[in-house]
Amino acid sequence: MTARDSYDVLTERLGFAGSNRLRSILEMLIAPGQAKLVEALPGSIAEVAEKTGVSQDQVRKTLDHLYYKGVVFPKGDFNSREYYRFARSIIQLHDSVQATSALDLVKDRPLFQLWHEFCREEMYPWFGAMIKNATSRISRVVPAYEAIKDVPGVMPVENFHEILKAQELIAVAPCSCRLRTTAVEEQCEHTAEAKRWHCLQFGRGAEYVINRGSGRKLTTEQALLLCDDIEEDGLVHRWANNANMTGINTSCNCCRDCCEEWVSIDLGGVPVADWWEKSRYEAYLAVSADCNGCSLCADRCQFDAIEMKDVDGNFLPVIDSDKCFGCGACVVGCSPQALKMKVVRPPEFIPGAVA
């Protein structure tokens, strides 16, 4: 029997003991000598040096190097970095390693390909099974601002512009999922992540990507402009399923063909409604005479809620209210403005919210 080494320990810590695919990823990211230091985590620079017999200077240099690669994470201040830990979960490692400006889509394609195979064969099935057993919906869809800005009674916590204005620190980084699918030549159907990043970071999440250089800081005005681009591309905003305006580190703005959560849900045969909560809104055809039957709304709907049908001799969108999550992507994309949004749920539908 082969003796366990540091890579075996790390794959087990991530919940994938014996995974050759994950081991290959770790071997590409971490040299054998470095893996021994990672195995010794969590701990301070001094504690890791004492455990491994490696000098403190070398421990610091190695762990700092792995920090910038997204493998290890400092506790407390991102600048001093006196205490490190390994990734808490496979999702954290997946996102931090790939969501960075340091990777090149061509040069680093072998790493992206390893991640893609691991995701499809192991991580997504695991994630889908976990979601299937979930007992609560921790996040909810937030409607596109452009779709609901003129609707009466919109609360700040469901107004994405107001959510952005409430953040003290904002940054943007490349989406780990869309960057990977682009690198392996499975281009996202909705947007081009390599040309414009869409993964918004707030608070400590923003501090992390700014300090690591994996993303860049945004002003509130820049974030609002990016929000317009996100909505134009038909991506879906999500936020915590409560009334808090802050406290969330990431709003990744999802697409069904790339998002690690959404793909896992679909592969696992789990209804989206078992994991994400709907917004309080629903799309509807306000003025059928204005509809030109272009079917763009059906193409933009990522929840399969719109079907084009013959209605009294006119080719019109028919919206399934059970499937509609109120994201507003169809409304934003409707040039004739035949589609609108309406409130279909009370304020208390959002836990902790009041009118």
Structural domains of the chain sorted by starting position, each given as residue range(s) with its CATH number in brackets: 1-88 (1.10.10), 90-278 (no CATH), 281-343 (3.30.70.20)
- Read off the pLDDT of each residue in 244-256 and give the average, rounded to a whole number: 95
Interval 192-232: pLDDT, tens: 999 999 999 999 999 999 999 999 999 999 999 999 999 99
In terms of Cβ atoms closer than 10 Å to its own Cβ (0-12, 13-18, 19+), residue 53 is: exposed
Tokens for 45, please give them: 């620079």
Query: Which stretches of the chain are DSSP H helices?
Result: 6-13, 20-29, 32-39, 45-52, 56-69, 90-98, 109-118, 124-132, 145-148, 160-165, 176-183, 203-212, 220-232, 260-267, 296-300, 329-332
Interval 285-310: pLDDT, tens: 999 999 999 999 999 999 999 999 99
Measured in degrees and rounded to the nearest 5, phi and psi for residue 63 equal -70, -35
Is the pLDDT at 107 greater than 50, yes or no? yes
- Read off the pLDDT of each residue in 126-135 and give the average, rounded to a whole number: 91
- The position carrying tokens 């469901």 is 158
Give which of 179, 177, 169 is closest to 200, Cα–Cα: 169
- Read off the pLDDT of each residue in 106-118 and give the average, rounded to a whole number: 98
CB 341 within 8 Å of CB 282: yes
CA distance 9 to 68: 22
In terms of Cβ atoms closer than 10 Å to its own Cβ (0-12, 13-18, 19+), residue 152 is: exposed
DSSP secondary structure string for all residues of 131-196 = HHT--S--EEEE--HHHHTTSTT--GGG-HHHHHHT-S-EEEE--HHHHHHHHTT---SS--TTTS
Is the pLDDT at 66 greater than 80, yes or no? yes
Least confident among 84-93, 163-172, 197-206, 308-317: 308-317
Q: Give the pLDDT of residue 312.
A: 86
Is the pLDDT at 151 greater than 50, yes or no? yes
Query: Percentage of the chain surpassing pLDDT 90?
Result: 94
**Bridge partner list, 316:** 309
Strand 139-142's sheet: what is its strand order?
Answer: 237-240, 139-142, 276-277
- Read off the pLDDT of each residue in 246-268 and give the average, rounded to a whole number: 95
CB 200 within 8 Å of CB 193: no
Query: Percentage of the chain surpassing pLDDT 70?
Result: 99
pTM: 0.94
Q: Give the pLDDT of residue 355.
A: 67
- Read off the pLDDT of each residue in 131-155 and give the average, rounded to a whole number: 94
The two beta strands, 199-202 and 250-251, are antiparallel
Q: Give the pLDDT of residue 134.
A: 86
- Read off the pLDDT of each residue in 9-22 and give the average, rounded to a whole number: 98
- Report the mean per-residue pLDDT for the chain: 96
Q: Give the pLDDT of residue 1.
A: 34
Is the pLDDT at 22 greater than 70, yes or no? yes
- Read off the pLDDT of each residue in 250-272 and give the average, rounded to a whole number: 95
Q: Give the pLDDT of residue 96.
A: 98
Least confident among 85-89, 120-124, 270-274, 339-343: 270-274
